[in-house]
A and B are shown apart, each in its own frame.
Chain A
Amino acid sequence: MKGKSKLIGLVLAALVATGAAAAPVKIAVIMPSATTDAAFSQSMWGALLSVQKELGGEAAISLKYTENMWNVPDAAAAIRDYASSGFDIVIAHGSQYGSSIQEIAKDFPKVTFAWGTDVNTYGLPNVYAYTAAAEQGGYVNGVLAAKLSKSKKIGVTGPIEVGDAKTYIDGFVQGVQSVDKTIVISKTWTGSFSDVALMTAAAQTHIASGADALTGSSQSVVGSIGAAKGKGGVLWFGTQADQAGLAPELVVASQVYDWTGMLKDILAKRKAGKLGGVAYTLTLDNAGLKVAYNPAYKLAAAVKAAGDAAISGISKGTIKVNP
């Protein structure tokens, strides 16, 4: 069946062009890491699968992916190839793909492009942009961590100080400081998005220095969670995906990126004839970001109340978090 997909794609493209048939919406996504990374790429691939399921399965939406596109020209080739072979929506899931989208989208006015994380649609009518205000959930995690830390030492393990790894952590620091300015926050950067072993060692170092609450970003933080797992009494705060499953006894809460609302909105807008031109920002207010409390962790009611207060404060705009 897969073998014929190219042929079918061509036929479908012809049909869509003449507007003759109600074929499934064809969506392709290009991602920088693997669909199994338990972080950025998996959050998008998971969202696409759940939207597909919700809106009627493969009869309604057909999905294709290209993963591990660290190299931007390779990604650009994939984007152009999908756009020229009859796909309706091409999602470039990486902020490094911006220039490619800007260049390619002009050549395919009938195709909808969506890319993130960024807020720039380049003024093009067929480009959607999306981003996540990672600092917001970071702030909430920070408030929770500050309330729960007994040693008044908190450790942060990051990859490289860029992108949403940076904005999340900046938000986290603001959250901690809103509770207690005397808490010591130390940060380590491993200089790599994939070095799990060094990330583990970094977390061990934080714990040895007396930190009893940890957080971090990137697909390699699973190593940090593993390090915290071995020690009693150390807590973990997650981001990008719900990390409670990796260590139910110590994950307090995770900030979860939920792209489904945005994806459904893009699908609806496209159906109504609007091919692009909108920039989405996932926030706590529009439910694109969620703070998922881990049900297996017994969170004190007062602390949860503080977390909820931070969520509603950020949603209402009474608490300002700087990216």
Chain B
Amino acid sequence: MKRPELDWGKIALNVLLPVAGVIAALCVGAVMLLALKVNPITAYSALFNGAMGSTFGLTQTLVKATPLLLVGSGICIAFRANVINIGGEGQIIVGALMGAWVPLTFHYWPGWALIPATCVMGFLAGAAWGFIPGILKARLRVNEILSTIMMNAIALQLMNLLLQGPLMDPEGIARGTFLAQSAQLPKQAWLARLLPPTLLHSGAIIAVVLALLAYILLWKTTIGYSIRAVGLNPSASRYSGIRVPFYEALSLTLAGGFSGLAGAIEVIGVQHRLMDGLTSGYGFTGIVAALLGGLHPLGLIPASVVFGGLLVGADKMQRAVQVPSSLVTAILGIIVLFVSGAALWSRRWSAKRLARQRLGGGA
């Protein structure tokens, strides 16, 4: 499994298959649109224009892609160790809590200190939220699906607790509205807007850098090698002396950190305060983006843009042809089913390749 060579055939297949899956799913969606007496061509052109057809749409797509890329990069790391992290929602929430708490508490700090500190704390909080399921799996063999589901609910209630108490906006209390949101963050903690008045912020750059780091970690370091070895074949790894539980826990912790950072960046980059409804399901859609990107951080960069565009365009489609938002959720579900199913041909193809070339392993 040393230095996998660039295999263009495989890369092309990995691009084409998800695209084919998306197109097939959109065809099913077209039937549903017809049933709702909506012209699918009008609807889908609204979808495309909404996502890519204007500067605003395009920036909005990138804003959406940012958390997907961060969460997805973490998912890739976990998946490579054969660990399913469905705790993204909770990890985003605790990261977002830090994203609000740090700037509100240290509001007198200058921006150059406050922003990095907030990002680091967001990462650490998410990492802690991933570490707990990680250590439970490593030490006590508690399944990560169970613990991450529970940790999601715990994080949500933690946020509720803080938003009803210490973090509640004092202005809302004074005016008697008691909104479930924190005060607005001090301005120096806001990430720079790259293209005002659009919401595109420098968090997008951070996300790309982090995805590259995830790639380097997974494919250029011994830690990454061990993580992938654990995922490919845990028993062989064990025999070759790799501490399997350690790397499983580490991958969950890292995945949590990436999600936590995504939460912190959503707060200081977009929302500028902590609010209910902030995760927007990124913990789940991040998994989907990771799948579209072939569970590879570099594939994830274009995949998160495509998937972000799909989400933004779907909102636009809802506005343009007035279809219920739930239709969009259903179509997204079909996309996931089709794309995850289409991966079969990719595996078949590389299996054939492998048999032919008689090379061991590979990425």
Contact = CB atoms under 8 A, between A and B. Distances in A.
Interface in B316-358: 316, 318-322, 324-326
A80 interface: yes
Contacts, number: 114
B321 A3 contact: yes
B242 interface: no
B302 to A, nearest CB: 22
A206 B231 CA distance: 50
B14 interface: no
A78 B163 contact: no
B320 A163 contact: no
Interface in A1-37: 2-3, 5-6, 28, 32, 34
Contact of A160 (B164, B197, B272, B275): B164
B42 A72 contact: no
A119 interface: yes
B160 interface: yes
Contacts of A120: 175
B273 A2 contact: no
B182 to A, nearest CB: 11
Interface string B32-74: 0000001101100010001000001000100100000000000
A34 B50 CA distance: 22
Nearest to B316: A81
A67 interface: yes
A29 B271 CA distance: 21
A71 B41 CA distance: 27
Nearest to A120: B175
Contact of A163 (B63, B177, B199, B312): B177
A139 to B, nearest CB: 14
A162 B179 contact: yes
Contacts of B226: none
Given A96-B277, A162-B164, A77 B179 contact: no
A161 B164 contact: yes
B319 A66 contact: yes
A81 B57 CA distance: 9
Nearest to B157: A191
A80 B56 contact: yes
B178 A167 contact: yes
B176 A167 contact: yes
Contacts of A103: 197
B38 A2 contact: yes
Given A32-B277, A191-B160, A117 B63 contact: no
Nearest to B266: A73
A67 B164 CA distance: 25
> Which of A2, A5, A119, A166 has its CB near the most chain B CB atoms (within 10 A)?
A2
A162 B324 CA distance: 28
A28 B178 CA distance: 26
Nearest to B39: A3
B175 A119 contact: yes
A80 B324 CA distance: 20
Contact of A99 (B63, B273, B280): B273
Interface string B289-329: 00000000000000000000000100110111110111000
Nearest to A63: B322
Interface string B208-222: 000000000000000
A282 to B, nearest CB: 14
Contacts of B46: 6
Contact of A166 (B39, B41, B156, B178): B178
Nearest to B324: A67
B179 A96 contact: yes
B263 to A, nearest CB: 13
A163 B321 contact: no
Contact of A117 (B177, B277, B318): B177
Nearest to B199: A73
B312 A77 contact: yes
Interface string A100-143: 00010001000000000111100000000001000000000000
A312 interface: no
B54 to A, nearest CB: 9
B315 A163 contact: no
Nearest to A70: B277
21 contacts: A2-B39, A28-B319, A71-B277, A72-B277, A73-B270, A77-B312, A81-B319, A82-B319, A96-B179, A99-B184, A99-B272, A99-B273, A107-B197, A118-B175, A118-B177, A118-B179, A161-B178, A162-B163, A162-B178, A162-B180, A166-B178
Interface of A: 2-3, 5-6, 28, 32, 34, 64-68, 70-74, 76-78, 80-82, 84, 95-96, 99, 103, 107, 117-120, 131, 160-163, 166-167, 191, 322-323
Given A34-B324, A96-B179, 12 more contacts: A2-B321, A34-B325, A64-B322, A72-B275, A72-B277, A95-B177, A99-B272, A103-B197, A118-B175, A163-B177, A167-B176, A191-B160
Ranked nearest first, the 5 interchain pairs of A and B with the lowest CB-CB distance are A3-B42, A70-B277, A323-B176, A71-B280, A162-B180
